[in-house]
Chains A and B, each alone.
Chain A
Amino acid sequence: MSIPTLPDAFVEKHAAKGWPVGLAGVALVIIGTFMSWSFDPNILGDLSVYGYPGGLQILAIILSLLALVLLLTVKGPLASRLGQWLDAALGLRALGLWLLIYMVGVILAIATDSSGLVNVDPGGWISFVGAVLVFAGSQVIPLRELRDLGRARLPGWFEIAAVAVVMAGVLFGAAYALAREDAWSFVLVLVFAGGTVAAMFRTGTMGWFGHVATRRRKVLTLAAFAVAFFFPFTQQGSDANMSIATSVLIFAATAIGLNIVVGLAGLLDLGYIAFLGAGAYVASSLSRSAFATIDWHPPFLVIVLLGGCVSATLGLIIGTPTLRVSGDYLAIVTLGFGEIFRFSMFNLDGNNGPNLTNGPNGIPGIPELAVGGFNFGDEHVVAGITLGRFSNYYFLLLLLMAFVILVFTRLNNSRIGRGWVAIREDEKAAEAMGVNVFGLKLLAFAVGAFLAGLAGTIKAHQDGATSPDQYIFLESAFLLAAIVLGGMGTIAGVLLGATILKLLPEKLRFFSEYRLLLFGLTLVLMMRFRPEGLVANKRRLLEFHEEDEKLATAVESELVEEAK
């Protein structure tokens, strides 16, 4: 995506003014934050205090301080040390834009939540003018040629510390954002996060962090899991956010399973939700619910494996047509299977076939999981912090997630994974090279389905009820969207996509009416402007931009470096 810029002649003429204007803008924003923004103290937390900044004002200060650092990198004390590495001008432009969006958002929020613009206090206007100045100033600061930040070599401890800081920032940011109760505050925190990330991208810091992440993958993975592990402890026993978090994890685990089929092997599956459903139905029919249809109650570990295996068997059945059909036709076949699964679950109620699923009513009243005397419904107090029912499931799902990610990465980096990629790129060539095409395709379906089945067995207990309308086509589309949005064939992308798709609707209740509308629109726009997803897999990136020679050389050199 390119952001429109001013004509070169204009920039040259006013280049000298950019720096002082930007500096003045930063000063104004900070001064504004020490004054009242809103006349009404009930909007966006309390922003009506003079003398010291609070809540969302602090985020504005952080953004403007970042802008200050970049300004000082352009000209000032930091120029000699950071100037040749950081792309400060581009970073400033991004920051200026996002700061402006942030202030416009604040003013809009105050105006719409109260009786109009009169309720915006002078402080708000001063900060707004400051944001405008930063934006205007950054537009005329000239761009420069820079050294590639990826080649910067810093001490090892610094890189590890950077990973830790970023991860801690993610944890803190997530906890802070989730603690915002009203939708406007949440949106503004998102704008803040967007601004920080955009600035990191534009200055090249993100690129550098990407290199560090590839070099120190183990540290990053460990840190990510530590962050995920500590997340429930930031919630003070609140179940609302934990229930969102567990549904994100179930969704993400399923989406990673689908990512094996779609992202790695390139087989489009539009009925994938059926596998999650199969796992859930296995777990619920074997549970001790009064409506369960099978009178056999094995231990949960057996149920999990059974759920996975039933799903994998279904996966094999759905996979067999791949011998003969591929591409669009395969997508339709899988869609057909998905619908057949839903109709069957709907119909098997005893009147239209054997009673297996209790028909449209589904199986309600599934009891809490109990593994070896540990009941997942109980609350526990660890280090003074209450961990409720959802936290228990959260930890179990985290374990599942670790397993799913392990399977995904190990397969991806093995002969099997290479085979899948080869099939995706060119099936005939792969077959000529001796890749067992049919076997690998079946394996992709079976493994993906197995992982979804595992997630399904836990989902049944976590939801407490299973019914056919949880497994409609739209859910499959959502799973696919998580992958497309995040980036095919990557784990970070799918996690991001799943979080966005599950978290935003929960937090932004006021637009729940428009949720699906925006979902459809996003799919169309993504395919049009960024088909490789938010976090792009390098090979995928090339596939979608075949003519881009520059990109090809860049990716090639990076892949070579990675291999070393």
Chain B
Amino acid sequence: MDQFFQQLVNGLTLGSLYALIAVGYTVVYGIVQLINFAHGEVFMIGAFGALSTYLLFFDGQTGVWILPIMIVGAIIASVVTAVAMERVAYRPLRNAPRLAPLITAIGISVFLQELVRVFYDRIPFADFPSAKQRIPFPQLDGVSGKAVEVGDVTIQRSAIFTVAALVVCAILLWYFINRTKLGRGMLAVSQDPDTARLMGINVDRIIVVAFALGAVLAAVAGVSQGLQNNNIDFKMGFIAGLKAFTAAVLGGIGNIQGAVFGGLVLGVVESMATQYVPGQFGGGTWKDVWAFVLLILVLVFRPQGLLGARVVDRA
């Protein structure tokens, strides 16, 4: 039974990470009906933004007060990437056939990965390591180091940070969407863009805000991932993005609570599969396969997701 709780904790940690990224997919989809395939790369660039901030200003220090500044660095990097992506690549294609934005997204994804891989150590006025191998992520007091033991369950400090980050972000997100003018504008646009425009909402601006909002959460997720794995690399966005998309679909794409819920469910299912799928098909090596099987089953049998999507007949 203690194994169960251990896996539950692992699952919730993993799930919090998925949830943070999944919100980005869901927010953008809810407003422009676009699967932003390159969102995983926004997450990756967030992690690199945090690392760069650390290397530029605090190299060698370990105080926990650095963490908020790293997060701000991550957010800046992610938001700039996401907004530029929307402006340069997606906006001109807004009325194009469905295939075009999807292929563009694949292009952006490959482009951003390679940009980081090739040019990270060539950024002028900074002495960054080459991104061709994994780069160690800074370890700070308080959020890394000795794990916390609760009974028989081991909880990594970075896991506590991740879950806490999700809780804080979820509360802020709820406040932003329901209590601010911009947030309510987003709700309006996702319900009916044309009417929203007639009511005086600047739809273009709302779309940019949606991309930026997703990027903020992805940046936080990028920092969490770095703390958890102790290292980051240019490929980390692909699988994480795919899993997060699965989470978004699982919860019902376009539905923000759904994305958080779907992320947690996916994380727990993955962890439990590692522990409880019997025989040779269990264990860590097959967990990605089970995640994708879950994705396909959900898409085929319940495309509106567990909580139901705001936009049902989208495919």
A329 and B103 form a contact (CB under 8 A):
no
Contacts of A531 in B (CB 8 A): 96-97, 100
A517 and B115 form a contact (CB under 8 A):
yes
A336 and B106 form a contact (CB under 8 A):
no
| Chain B: CB-nearest residue to A478 | B110
Which residues between 279 and 315 of chain B lie within 8 Å of chain A, taking CB atoms? 280-281, 283, 285-286, 288-289, 292-293, 295-296, 299-301, 303, 314-315
| Chain B: CB-nearest residue to A484 | B103
B111 and A527 form a contact (CB under 8 A):
no
Bound complex: CA A340 to CA B281 (Å): 13
Bound complex: CA A354 to CA B104 (Å): 39
Q: Is B92 interfacial (CB-CB < 8 Å)?
A: yes
Q: Is B86 interfacial (CB-CB < 8 Å)?
A: no
Q: Is A522 interfacial (CB-CB < 8 Å)?
A: yes
A517 and B111 form a contact (CB under 8 A):
yes
Known: A517-B111, A517-B115, A528-B89. A328 touches B102 (CB 8 A): yes
Interface residues on B, range: 35 or more
- Render A519-539 as a binary contact track against B, CB cut-off 8 A, 1 for contact: 111111001100100000000
A326 and B315 form a contact (CB under 8 A):
yes
Bound complex: CA A326 to CA B314 (Å): 9
CB distance from A513 to the nearest CB of B (A): 6
Bound complex: CA A536 to CA B272 (Å): 50
B286 and A523 form a contact (CB under 8 A):
no
Contacts of A329 in B (CB 8 A): 249, 299, 303, 314-315
Contacts of A506 in B (CB 8 A): none
| Chain B: CB-nearest residue to A359 | B285
Bound complex: CA A522 to CA B104 (Å): 9
Q: Which of B114, B280, B300 contacts A321 (CB 8 A)?
A: B300
Q: Is B80 interfacial (CB-CB < 8 Å)?
A: no
Q: Is A558 interfacial (CB-CB < 8 Å)?
A: no
Bound complex: CA A332 to CA B283 (Å): 25
Which residues between 345 and 369 of chain A lie within 8 Å of chain B, taking CB atoms? 346-347, 351-354
Q: Is B172 interfacial (CB-CB < 8 Å)?
A: no
| Chain B: CB-nearest residue to A270 | B106
A347 and B286 form a contact (CB under 8 A):
yes
Q: Is A401 interfacial (CB-CB < 8 Å)?
A: no
| Chain B: CB-nearest residue to A529 | B92
Contacts of B100 in A (CB 8 A): 527, 531, 544
**Given A352-B285, A521-B107; 9 other pairs, CB 8 A cutoff:** A332-B35, A332-B295, A336-B293, A336-B296, A473-B238, A480-B103, A514-B118, A519-B107, A522-B107
A-B contact pairs, 12 of them (CB 8 A): A270-B106, A326-B315, A332-B35, A343-B286, A352-B280, A352-B281, A477-B106, A520-B108, A520-B110, A527-B96, A527-B107, A531-B100
Footprint of A on B, CB under 8 Å?
Answer: 35, 89, 92-93, 96-104, 106-115, 118, 238, 242, 245, 249, 280-281, 283, 285-286, 288-289, 292-293, 295-296, 299-301, 303, 314-315
Footprint of B on A, CB under 8 Å?
Answer: 268, 270, 321, 324-333, 335-337, 339-340, 343-344, 346-347, 351-354, 473-474, 477, 480-481, 484, 513-514, 516-517, 519-524, 527-528, 531, 543-544
